[in-house]
């Protein structure tokens, strides 16, 4: 498996609960390497584009509000966006994150340990991690411009 890059977003529940460092620490401990990092003020347009595969689903409108910090009183819609790289980085980051639904996620994962399903059914699960090479490419290009990412140097 060749080296890959993947997009991670620290979601507002993780930011609100001061778990940003923990998420970064787990990804670091898994052997992933940072290739890009920035705070982003998430416009409605960016949130909708990022989650466009879910358009029309019952949780879509709340998901757009969630990633923009509206459920956690995060000022200015700020989200930490990260690009990680490494061998099999996409699957590895998903493994560190755990299953989408924290109630089904392995308890040793970030989502299993710290995620929750709210009383209204919203899944709060700390981080976004790209789910395939095609998604990773689309999402990295959506959140970062090329000059903001370290690309592996050919040796
Ligand atoms: O984030 P992941 O790729 O694991 O899951 P997804 O199926 O792509 O869904 C995106 C996000 O929507 C999830 O991470 C949840 O925050 C949210 N979601 C939800 O609130 N309720 C659901 N039934 C499914 C997803
Ligand atoms: Mg997804």
Domains and CATH numbers, the chain: 3-148 (3.30.70.141)
Does any ligand 1 atom lie closer than 6 A to the CB of residue 65?
no
pLDDT digits (tens, 9 = 90+) for 45-86: 999 999 999 999 999 999 999 999 999 999 999 999 999 999
CA of 45 to the centre of ligand 1 (A): 18
Mean pLDDT of 106-121: 97
- 154 pLDDT higher than 70: no
Q: What is the pLDDT of residue 153?
A: 67
CA of 123 to the centre of ligand 1 (A): 7
Measured over the CA atoms of residue 20, residue 21, residue 24 and residue 30, the dihedral's sign is negative
Q: What is the DSSP letter of 30?
A: T
- 1 pLDDT higher than 90: no
Largest Cα–Cα separation, the chain: 52
Ligand nearest to the CA of 120: 1
Global pTM? 0.97
Q: Is 128 a catalytic residue?
A: yes
Residue 2: band (very low, low, confident or very high) from pLDDT cuts 50, 70, 90: confident
Strand residues in the chain grouped as ranges (E) = 3-10, 33-41, 78-87, 116-117, 123-124, 127-129
- Length of the chain counted residue by residue: 155
Q: What is the DSSP letter of 106?
A: -
Neighbours of 71 (CB within 10 A): 18
Mean pLDDT of 18-25: 98
Residue 16: band (very low, low, confident or very high) from pLDDT cuts 50, 70, 90: very high
Minimum CA distance residue for ligand 1 atom 16: 123
Does any ligand 1 atom lie closer than 6 A to the CB of residue 122?
yes
Does any ligand 1 atom lie closer than 6 A to the CB of residue 3?
no
Is residue 110 a contact partner of residue 126, using CB atoms and an 8 Å limit? yes
Find, among 82, 94, 108, the residue nearest to 11 by Cα: 82
């Amino acid at each position: 498996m060749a080296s890959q890059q993947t997009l991670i977003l620290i979601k507002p529940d993780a930011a609100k609960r001061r778990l940003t460092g923990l998420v970064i620490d787990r990804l670091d401990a898994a052997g992933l390497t940072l290739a890009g990092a920035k705070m982003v003020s998430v416009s409605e347009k960016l949130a909708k584009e990022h989650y466009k595969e879910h358009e029309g689903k019952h949780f879509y409108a709340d998901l757009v509000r969630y990633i923009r910090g509206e459920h956690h009183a995060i000022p200015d819609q700020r989200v930490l966006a990260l690009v990680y790289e490494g061998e099999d980085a996409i699957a590895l980051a998903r493994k560190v994150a755990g299953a989408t639904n924290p109630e089904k996620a392995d308890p040793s994962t970030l989502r299993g340990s710290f995620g929750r399903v709210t009383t209204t059914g919203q899944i709060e699960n700390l981080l976004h991690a790209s789910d395939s090479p095609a998604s990773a490419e689309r999402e990295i290009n959506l959140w970062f411009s090329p000059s903001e990412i370290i690309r592996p140097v050919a040796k």
